Amino acid sequence: MTQGNIKSNINHTKVWFILLFFIELSVSNAQISPGKLTLAHTSLEGIKNCTACHDLGAKISEQKCLDCHKALKIRISQNKGYHVSKEVKGKECITCHSEHHGVKFDMIRFDEKNFNHTLTGYELKGAHKKVETCAKCHFEDHIADVKIRQNKKTFLGLDPKCISCHDDYHQKTMENDCAVCHNFEEFKPAAFFNHNKTDFPLKGAHTTVDCAKCHKTEFKSGKKFQHFADVSFKNCNNCHKDPHGGDFGLNCKSCHNESSFKNIKSTSDFNHSLTGFTLEGKHKTIECKSCHDQRSGAKGNYKEFESTKNINCLTCHKDIHNSIFGTDCKACHSQQSFSINKKIPDFNHSLTGYVLDGKHLTVDCKKCHTTPKMTDPQKHDLCAACHKDYHQGDFKDIKNRDCAVCHTTKDFKEATFDIEQHEVSSFPLYGAHMATPCTACHMKENKWKFRNVGKECIDCHQNIHIGFISEKYLPDNDCRRCHDSEAWQSITFDHNLTKFELRGNHAIIECRSCHYKDNPVSNTKEQKFTGINTNCSTCHQNVHGTQFEVEGTTDCSKCHGFEAWDRSNFNHNNAAFKLDGAHIHVACIKCHQEEWIDGTKKIKYKTGKLECIDCHQ
């Protein structure tokens, strides 16, 4: 047999083997598949399609499930919906959606009545809880996506917006978030709607008006439609008829309020200039009815003056001058007050010999011109001619001393008397006195006093040291022996005048450190300047006890100086035991150790050990 014949036989054998394999496979197919696929998956029947769902040698591929169910895959990737809830997340698809149970097998099955819809990301509230079946909401008419809609059994594709399922009652005239005004119990009434949060809060009589009075209902696009967002409210006459026919403008609220159209404001921001008579001065504050009094001949409400051609003061007011000064009252008077409380126009007061300035410019003429005639002469050479002497004769003995020396017509309280003027007085100001307010010295018992107020410290200040400091050091209560006017705390007393010279740190500490002591009974500090014991232990603690006492007194200065608490004055060679040799380099604590002395631990310096045998063997 040739080599070519051998190859040909081998190829024929392969072909027959493959044919036999597929014949056998088709016969045993029913034995390999565990059962028929559901109706939705019938297109995947046959052994050739196994790998559409299964990986070879493995279980069902979750990824392949999601590659087919793309809408669900998108939801999961967005971390939305039931399949990312705690009930489902992490489970295999086949746990809930098993296959190969026959064509009619329902892969999507659950207890609709007990299903927790909150797990989907949309909690059912109110009337939604009462919907009988899921199909009431989950059907194709409510699904906007065309591809998702093709799956008749899908629960995907719904939009949580109300108008995706419900008719838009407001026909796109309101915002899409119905829950701003409505709740889930019932559409009417709008439980959350608050008219006061709109651009037109309800006030007065508006609060009792039925909604339908303003929000009219009609048919629009073949449906019943009630106007809400498009109701005009810019002016009152958008809803109400103007009984004035537009004579007084469009701002009804300038005279009326929402409580009742008949209630007219006592004071109004109505633009009275529209009537031809501009309100000025007190005319602005009086009640409208004071002038509009429905007098005889009036053509209607607030039309009492419609037929009056020339309105002036005398139309309403009586002329008390009997026309002597003409009819132009405003030449002297103002509408603020009938009293002449300002300069009469064109009248030059300087011609009288007295120029008006400061507060004199605002004084009512009658305050000075008290006689019936304004032209009667008035004294004006001195302030006292008109004004009472506020200081009650304090300055009567000073020649040419008028109020104007210290005061101005601008304000009597603002005196012009300054420190420079005080310098030439009998009491020049120095130090802290320059910053002291005038009232501290010159206001006594709620009354100003400038004469004989005293010049010595004791005249104003209390001597707190009486009975505590000897008169030797404080003659005539003269505080300046120790203090100065710059600052009370600055002390200049020469302590060397006493029996206790200040040395070292004693010279820099405050006086009160030694001369003021706490009284634990009264919880106060008490001063003491006399009878102070000058022994160190009077102020300082004696840490050595009675070791160095001589006749009951310890002289600390034998060892310690005043600059610091050290042993600068101590010389061991002056003691009973002179240091020499190796003793010079021995630490003090080696010989002088702590012991219990008088009930406390103290370093013992007087050891009584003067012989070698006392310390050395």
Beta bridge partners of 432: none
Query: How many structural domains is the chain composed of?
Result: 2
Q: d(Cα 215, Cα 229) in Å, to the nearest integer?
A: 9
| 95: helix, strand or coil | helix
Say if 170 falls within a structural domain.
no
| 83: helix, strand or coil | helix
pLDDT at 268: 63
Q: Residue 252's CB: how many other CB atoms inside 10 A?
A: 19
In the structure encoding, which two tokens stand for residue 138, read together? Answer: 């989950």
Instruction: Let me know: does 368 contact 386? Beta carbons within 8 Å.
Output: yes
Say if 14 falls within a structural domain.
no
pLDDT at 29: 44
The pTM score is 0.40
Q: What is the mean pLDDT of residues 246-251?
A: 81
- Choose the weakest-confidence range: 24-33, 305-314, 453-462, 509-518: 24-33
Of 118, 142, 159, the residue that ends a domain is: 159
Say if 571 falls within a structural domain.
yes
pLDDT at 495: 92
pLDDT in tens, 533-543: 888 888 888 88
Say if 586 falls within a structural domain.
yes
- For the chain, the first-to-last Cα distance in angstroms comes to 131
Residue 304 has pLDDT above 80, yes or no: yes
Instruction: Let me know: does 396 contact 451? Beta carbons within 8 Å.
Output: no
Say if 356 falls within a structural domain.
no
218 versus 1: the higher-pLDDT residue is 218
Residue 320 has pLDDT above 80, yes or no: no
Residues 6+ apart with CB under 8 A from 245: none
Q: For residue 582, give its domain range.
A: 536-615
Q: d(Cα 534, Cα 499) in Å, to the nearest integer?
A: 9
Q: d(Cα 247, Cα 267) in Å, to the nearest integer?
A: 20
Of 141, 159, 177, the residue that ends a domain is: 159
Residue 143 has pLDDT above 60, yes or no: yes
Q: What is the mean pLDDT of residues 224-250?
A: 87
pLDDT at 123: 94
| 537: helix, strand or coil | helix
pLDDT in tens, 73-95: 999 999 999 999 999 999 999 99
pLDDT in tens, 477-500: 888 889 888 888 888 899 998 989
Q: What is the mean pLDDT of the chain?
A: 85
Say if 95 falls within a structural domain.
yes
Q: What is the mean pLDDT of residues 370-391?
A: 80
Say if 323 falls within a structural domain.
no
pLDDT in tens, 149-176: 988 889 999 999 999 999 999 999 998 8
Q: d(Cα 52, Cα 363) in Å, to the nearest integer?
A: 107
Of 97, 129, 159, the residue that ends a domain is: 159
Say if 126 falls within a structural domain.
yes
Residue 25 has pLDDT above 50, yes or no: no
| Confidence label for 421 from pLDDT (cuts 50, 70 and 90) | confident
pLDDT in tens, 187-198: 999 999 999 999
Residue 16 has pLDDT above 70, yes or no: no
Which of 366, 485, 384 lies closest to 436, judged by CA?
485
